[in-house]
Structure 1
Amino acid sequence: MAVQISYKNKISKKNTYNLVLFVNETFNISSLKKHISTKEYALISDLVKTKDIKKKIVAFDISSKKKIILVSLKNKITISEVENLGAVFYDKFKNDKINHFVINSDSSINQQRNLVGNFVHGLKLKSYTFEKYKTKKNNKNISIIIFGKNQPSVKEQLKFKAIEDGTFYTRDLVSEPGNILHPDEYAKRLISLKKYGLKVSVYDDKKLKKLGMNTLLGVGQGSIRGSYLVTMEWNGLDKTSKPLAFVGKGVCFDTGGISLKPAKFMEDMTYDMAGSAVVVGLMKSLALRKAKINAVGVVGLVENMPGGNAQRPGDIVKSYSGKTVEILNTDAEGRLVLADALTYTEEKFKPKLIVDLATLTGAIIVSLGSEYAGLFSNDDNLSKQLINAGEKVEEKVWRMPLNKNFDKLIDSKNADMQNINYVGGAGSTTAAQFLQRFILNKTPWAHLDIAGMAFSKYGGALNSGGATGYGVRLLNKLIEDNYE
């Protein structure tokens, strides 16, 4: 299903499209007299008394060809609540026979900036479906015309579309099956992003070996597919401005390796590359909206498979940082990919900050469910910025502890550290504590464990189930509010 948005200055009152108007939460329609005919106003005045006004959206049949739809707004309504209303609107009419709507942007007495833009943004985000591999597709198109003086500016329209495109690209990547989006294919797709103005560099097995990225390479050595580190650079400012860096875990399929996972739900491990997909979607958004910042996205792409050449429990490898790691469990692989990627990002790009994203631990789902991503950070200011951005777009984060006392749980007798805590407990924290050891120059850093947020069996406010795209809008908001 596709939703097409267009903008016009004026439209005839005689049109037979379904008209969408905004009213206050008590459904007082007196402000609508100038927007509809006298006959329509009289009819709605009668009918509204019979409707359940506890509902946010109420539709009235004016004729066999036309509806007038009222959307109620609270006096004090957040951007997120407006977006959610747009999503409710989509759900209400997605299976309806009607597919043409006209939104009067001047009908709202609520003067919130970009109200209509945010309403349609929520509607668009909710409309996403992944039907690439279905032989019978839903070919319905919904057409929405927005008219009036209170529609978004051209610049704001482009920004909304860039964020939607980036979020949808992330969802597309996460939704792909492992036999299609393996590391070789993933790396090829990232090269295609050059057309948006991104500088893309791909480091294959040979280059990674030469660089000494042995923790990343170790994860992928049991697969017939290659392993890669891919960097994507966006320069919206002069080159003297330090970039913001975003690093993502891209385990295209995670069997657990020699420490094999149980068969039940292993099919979900196609989304173990969601952290990398968020970084890719974000970088695409920044390029599309010509963001006035310098940013770099770095993703480690591997496939964790059992095989004759697979990494074994008990192996010791030397990371890019020079620190050695004892592999006690090959299913704690994401932190090994990120370890090399983090040190390389910090050393090569010398960024203002680093945010990494990963579906890293099941323990974070036990802690926070599917309401919050786990936030671990060495910097209070960056943490506050992420928390505030998350609240605004309803992609929430909850700060979890890091403390040097956790270090003893990952210290190894045979190497500098081990990749899991065998004592038990604090699974997400010890994973983050492990990652922190690879930030060598005290760069402000935050780790987002998105294991509970990247994929939803039942759907959420702005998605209909499956890949959520969580993180793209969060990081866009972080950048917009604090660094542009």
Structure 2
Amino acid sequence: MTQPVEINFTDVNADLLADHPGRVALILTSTDKLAGKLPRPAREAAIRALASKAGKALKPGQSLELAFPAGMAADALVLVFLPNASSQAEARRAGAALGAKLGRSHTLILAGAHRLAGDVALGLALRGYDFSVYQTKPSEAGATAQSGGLMPESEGQAPDALLGDAQADDRLEAPAAEVSDKARVTMMVKDPEGLAKVAGSAAAVAEGVFFTRDLVNEPANVLTTSDFADRLLAMRELGLDVEVLDEPELAKLGMRALLAVGQGSESPSKVVVMRWNGGGDQAPLALVGKGVVFDTGGISIKPGAGMEEMTMDMGGAGVVAGVMRTLALRRAKANVVGLVGLVENMPDGRAYRPGDILKSMKGDTIEVVNTDAEGRLVLADVMWYAQDRFKPSAMIDLATLTGAVIIALGHDNAGVFSNDDTLSDQILQAARAEGEGAWRLPLGPSYDGLIKSRLADMKNSGGRAAGSITAAQFLARFVRDGQPWAHIDIAGVALPPAATDLAPRGATGWGVMTLDRLVRDSFERP
């Protein structure tokens, strides 16, 4: 898997600034005082830059860059304005600005005793992500992300796992990165050992985010249902208990709704169960993810324009996988079970049709009016199975479920629906703490009429009106009485059309930080 850039923490030695090749960055708490021991020509240039109109207009987390500073071996000198009173989000954005321009150089950052140095490092690591594994001519940015560094050591994915189930002639092989191309970062801080310890848990989060981004960015001819399951099985090495339920077992369990979605594909449908048992005898938190590795819409086929992005329709499963990886890496003192339903929705002679009536694992019947409303069918069975088997203390499902949530909230917020105010508040608070946008939307019996079926217990789509709400209302029918539950629609935030503060254009890994914070704050034992 892609891993963040190598970051090392060392003691402050300002004498190294002048002779350091590559990039040098100074974290400044004030634009009036220039910290660090710079050669006189570079220092004078930096003072002039900070006194300029642009320098005086700097906001916390913003920076100025001086190319080829006089008297220094560096290619660039970056002056990062970060007052001591800055917020965590501003510190992460400051780090992200550095991470976006790492290239193949060795970056030296003088952070000193800044209280937010750890957040600068995390922001740098997250923004330094680069998924260029299929580019045969690596770009300058392509050297940003690689193995090693801030992350705790863990086994990466074996090269063969990238090949998926494609025929031998169609297999893709990622070019091997040369050691000399790897970017590195050294942060000079007052207490390197102390900061390295604090950075350990942040390292686990960053690796979980990267794991999710990789999964969402992978093409569907590589990330088949079988390849996805294999990548999750590999996390047994981290201490996770992982099992894969194949089609015969799913049929025996009665997961007819999930199996219907995948019956038109050559890729077999699967459910993967990941368990982290770090909380003693407490009932687990259950995380359920939609894992449609490619969504054509089935017989209700989608328009061709933009369909290539439907490789991201497994985003909910990707987030669940990333969270489980993070919890295992940081040895969380909580019991959490992650379940993902892996299917592919394809048009075929065996594909399910509009007008079909399906029977769910719960026993409810569902009239299919649109085969492109498939994610809720997958979630319905997996959610019921999660409750039936694990009796969770709370259950959260995540899915790139509806385009309607993008109409409602754009690409800045995920939609949160819940039957429990306490759980909803905990999720929203965790999202705010980590700077990931989330907004609660309503549920209510008045929406049930939109999914009422003439022939079955319900239909799988209520049409355009309140589309994200009726999808959540459908899922609510598969939540047992008294079970705290939340549904998070991440369709707008999983793969936004532009880069974000902490991610380049492409998959964001939204939700890994929020759910890890939720576990820390609300589900871990002391």
How far apart, CA to CA, are the structure 1 residues paired with 2:313 and 2:325?
Answer: 20
Q: Which residue of structure 1 lines up, in the alignment, with residue 248 of structure 2?
A: 206
Match of 2:227 among 173, 185, 203: 185
> The residue matched to 1:193 in structure 2 has which SS?
helix
Note if contact 1:51-1:58 (Cα within 8 Å) is conserved in structure 2. no
Deviation at 1:451, TM superposition (A): 0.6
Q: Which residue of structure 2 lines up, in the alignment, with residue 158 of structure 1?
A: 200
Match of 1:29 among 27, 33, 38: 33
> The residue matched to 2:54 in structure 1 has which SS?
coil
Larger mean Cα displacement after TM superposition, 3-12 or 326-335 = 3-12
How far apart, CA to CA, are the structure 1 residues paired with 2:362 and 2:433?
Answer: 37
Note if contact 1:57-1:89 (Cα within 8 Å) is conserved in structure 2. no
> The residue matched to 1:452 in structure 2 has which SS?
coil
Match of 1:175 among 203, 217, 241: 217
> The residue matched to 2:380 in structure 1 has which SS?
helix
> The residue matched to 1:86 in structure 2 has which SS?
helix
Match of 1:444 among 480, 484, 491: 484
* Residues 462, 442 of structure 1: alpha-carbon distance in 2 compared, 3 angstrom cutoff: same
How far apart, CA to CA, are the structure 2 residues paired with 1:176 and 1:43?
Answer: 45
Note if contact 1:21-1:107 (Cα within 8 Å) is conserved in structure 2. no
> The residue matched to 1:482 in structure 2 has which SS?
helix
Amino acid at match of 1:301: L
Unaligned 5+ segments in structure 1 are none
How far apart, CA to CA, are the structure 2 residues paired with 1:283 and 1:43?
Answer: 48
Amino acid at match of 1:406: Y
State the Cα deviation string for residues 273-321 of structure 1 (Å, max 9, x = none).
Answer: 0100000011001101111111110000000111111111111111111
Q: Which residue of structure 1 lines up, in the alignment, with residue 106 of structure 2?
A: 100
> The residue matched to 1:153 in structure 2 has which SS?
helix
> The residue matched to 2:332 in structure 1 has which SS?
coil
- Structure 1 residue 390 and structure 2 residue 441: aligned? no
- Structure 1 residue 20 and structure 2 residue 60: aligned? no
Deviation at 1:51, TM superposition (A): 6.7
Q: Which residue of structure 1 lines up, in the alignment, with residue 397 of structure 2?
A: 356
> The residue matched to 1:466 in structure 2 has which SS?
coil
Q: Which residue of structure 2 lines up, in the alignment, with residue 472 of structure 1?
A: 512
How far apart, CA to CA, are the structure 1 residues paired with 2:311 and 2:214?
Answer: 12
Aligned residues: 470
Deviation at 1:200, TM superposition (A): 0.4
- Structure 1 residue 234 and structure 2 residue 239: aligned? no
Note if contact 1:421-1:427 (Cα within 8 Å) is conserved in structure 2. yes
Larger mean Cα displacement after TM superposition, 10-19 or 297-306 = 10-19
State the identity as a percent. 43
Match of 2:314 among 243, 262, 273: 273
How far apart, CA to CA, are the structure 1 residues paired with 2:415 and 2:362?
Answer: 25
Q: Which residue of structure 2 lines up, in the alignment, with residue 322 of structure 1?
A: 363
State the Cα deviation string for residues 68-104 of structure 1 (Å, max 9, x = none).
Answer: 532112453221111111112233x445xx8223223
State the Cα deviation string for residues 12-55 of structure 1 (Å, max 9, x = none).
Answer: 62452254332235x0216x3xx426847666445543472124
Note if contact 1:106-1:148 (Cα within 8 Å) is conserved in structure 2. yes
* Residues 359, 442 of structure 1: alpha-carbon distance in 2 compared, 3 angstrom cutoff: same
Deviation at 1:258, TM superposition (A): 1.1
Q: Which residue of structure 2 lines up, in the alignment, with residue 131 of structure 1?
A: 132
Larger mean Cα displacement after TM superposition, 353-362 or 408-417 = 408-417
Note if contact 1:22-1:107 (Cα within 8 Å) is conserved in structure 2. no
How far apart, CA to CA, are the structure 1 residues paired with 2:321 and 2:457?
Answer: 32
Note if contact 2:416-2:486 (Cα within 8 Å) is conserved in structure 1. yes
Q: Which residue of structure 2 lines up, in the alignment, with residue 122 of structure 1?
A: 123
Larger mean Cα displacement after TM superposition, 268-277 or 57-66 = 57-66
- Structure 1 residue 298 and structure 2 residue 339: aligned? yes
Deviation at 1:477, TM superposition (A): 1.5
Larger mean Cα displacement after TM superposition, 312-321 or 330-339 = 312-321
Larger mean Cα displacement after TM superposition, 378-387 or 336-345 = 378-387
State the Cα deviation string for residues 398-428 of structure 1 (Å, max 9, x = none).
Answer: 1101001111211222111111114x41111
Larger mean Cα displacement after TM superposition, 10-19 or 362-371 = 10-19
Unaligned 5+ segments in structure 2 are 144-180
Amino acid at match of 1:366: I
Note if contact 2:208-2:512 (Cα within 8 Å) is conserved in structure 1. yes
* Residues 379, 94 of structure 1: alpha-carbon distance in 2 compared, 3 angstrom cutoff: same
Amino acid at match of 1:374: G
